[in-house]
Amino acid sequence: MKRIAILAYPGCSGAQVLGLHDSLLLANRVASRILGRQAAFDVRIVGVAGRSVGAAGGVRLGVERSFKRPDLLVVPGFALSEADVDQNLRQLTREIRLIRSAFRRGVKLAGVCVGAFLLGEAEVLVGRRATTAWMFAPELARRHPMSSIDPTAILIEDGGVITTGGFSVAFDLAAHLIRSVGGDELALAFGKFAMLDVRRESQRPFIDESLLSRGKAAFSDAVKQWLDARLTEPYRLERLARSFAVSTRTLLRRFQTETGESPLAYLQRARITAAKELLASTPLSVAAITERVGYANVSTFVRFFGRQEGMTPGRYRAGARCA
């Protein structure tokens, strides 16, 4: 029997907490009463303090204070507009510490929807593939450049960490856990009994570009921040577009409209700017700086540097040291 703890916290999505909780209870009933098998899950709602928490909208959820060493700790999302992300995270420092501590003890984690932001703050997404609700995927990618964020995936499992797409995907997570623990027979029976499609594979049919851009800061600013965090990595337009849940054509058009240049042109300038700082402040050779700022060979770097600055890197360094 798998021990599942669902972390309830102030402002969390009650629907995600209870939807997952009740789905796993239903799977237990399907297993025992229909399939003649043992219950698959011991599932509980836990919190870091008190006997209840106020979920989104003020709904009170009863919680347990302790659940010794669960097999999986699930972190639901919170109700927000984009401007609320920082405020929510600042208020959840105890929960973030709990998530980090649990993972270090070997407890597997799952983040539902924007619960991925709490996993990110707990530093468990570093070096992992992850997803979240498509509308907030660009923001998650900006905050955690050492993670690979896929805005189209329904569910990703990587190194003991599960992340899922948007609001309703708590039920997809339930189906995934039911299949993992009880096999296809239990998952299929659960899906039929609950009248749920347990085979969704992508958020792509739900992505709406007009909603993605509405009410957000300049699209180009987020793209620039993404590129700044990856100066040394090869430029791949397709990967960049996937990270912002748009087509390559749309990304180029929107960036050009806002900045008057292409993302690649911006990246070249950002690399040269970083090189100038290294030339002025370090004794690194031109070859070493070439590698530091993401160019494959010195001649390419020197050519781009001369095009932007009108001089060689060596001449720039001499002038910067005399200034």
Looking at beta carbons, which pairs linking 176-180 to residues 24 or more positions away fall under 8 Å?
Answer: 177/2, 177/4, 177/24, 177/41, 177/72, 178/23, 178/24, 178/27, 178/40
Which position has the token pair 């959840």?
92
Measure the CA angle with vertex 178, ends 150 and 102; round to 5°: 65
- Please indicate, yes or no, if residue 75 is contained in any of the structural domains: yes
Are residues 117 and 24 part of one domain? yes
Do 243 and 166 belong together in one domain? no
Residue 323's pLDDT is 52
Instruction: Tell me what the mean pLDDT of segment 74-103 comes to.
Output: 85
Regarding whether 172 and 218 lie in a shared domain, the answer is: no
5-9, 150-154, 217-221: the lowest-pLDDT one? 217-221
166: its two tokens: 């948007």
Q: Note the pLDDT of residue 117.
A: 95
* Per-residue pLDDT tens digits for 48-58: 988 899 998 88
Q: Which residues contact 158 (CB under 8 A, 6 or more apart)?
A: 128, 129, 130
Going by pLDDT thresholds of 50, 70 and 90, the confidence category of residue 134 is confident
106: domain CATH number is 3.40.50.880
Do 148 and 81 lie in one domain? The reply is yes
The answer to whether residues 85 and 226 belong to one domain is no
pLDDT category, 88, cuts 50, 70, 90?
confident
Q: Which of 138, 170, 194 delimits the end of a domain?
A: 194
Considering the domain architecture, whether residues 98 and 141 belong to the same structural domain is answered as yes
The SS3 of residue 308 is: helix
Regarding whether 286 and 162 lie in a shared domain, the answer is: no
Q: Distance (Å, rounded) from C-alpha 305 to C-alpha 269?
A: 9
H or E, element range at 287: helix 286-292
Q: How far apart are CA 134 and CA 139, in angstroms?
A: 10
What's the length of the chain?
A: 323
- 183 and 293 both lie in a single domain: no
Both 26 and 127 in one domain: the answer is yes
Mean pLDDT of 155-172: 92
User: How confident is residue 72, by pLDDT bands cut at 50, 70 and 90?
Assistant: very high
Residue 82 pLDDT > 50:
no
pTM: 0.67
Identify the CATH number of the domain in which residue 215 sits. 1.10.10.60
| Same domain membership, residue 230 and residue 148 | no
65 φψ region: left (φ > 0), alpha (ψ -120 to 50), beta (else): alpha
Same domain, residue pair 158 and 44:
yes
The answer to whether position 54 is within a domain reads yes
For the chain, give the percent of residues with pLDDT over 90: 55
Does 237 score more than 90 pLDDT? yes
DSSP string, 199-218: T--BSGGG--HHHHHTTPSP
Beta strands in the chain, from DSSP E residues, in sequence order: 2-7, 41-46, 52-54, 60-62, 72-75, 108-111, 129-130, 148-149, 155-158, 161-164
Mean pLDDT value across the chain: 88
| Of 194, 218, 233, the domain-final residue | 194
232: how many CB neighbours lie within 10 A of its CB?
Answer: 12
| Mean pLDDT confidence for 132-160 | 87
Does residue 199 sit within a domain?
A: no
> How many domains are there within the chain?
2
More confident residue, 141 or 200: 141
More confident residue, 109 or 151: 109
- One domain, residues 6 and 63: yes
Domain endpoint, select from 194, 222, 248: 194
Expressed as residue numbers, the domain containing 165 is 2-194
% of the chain residues with pLDDT over 70? 93
The answer, yes or no, to whether residue 206 has pLDDT greater than 90, is: no
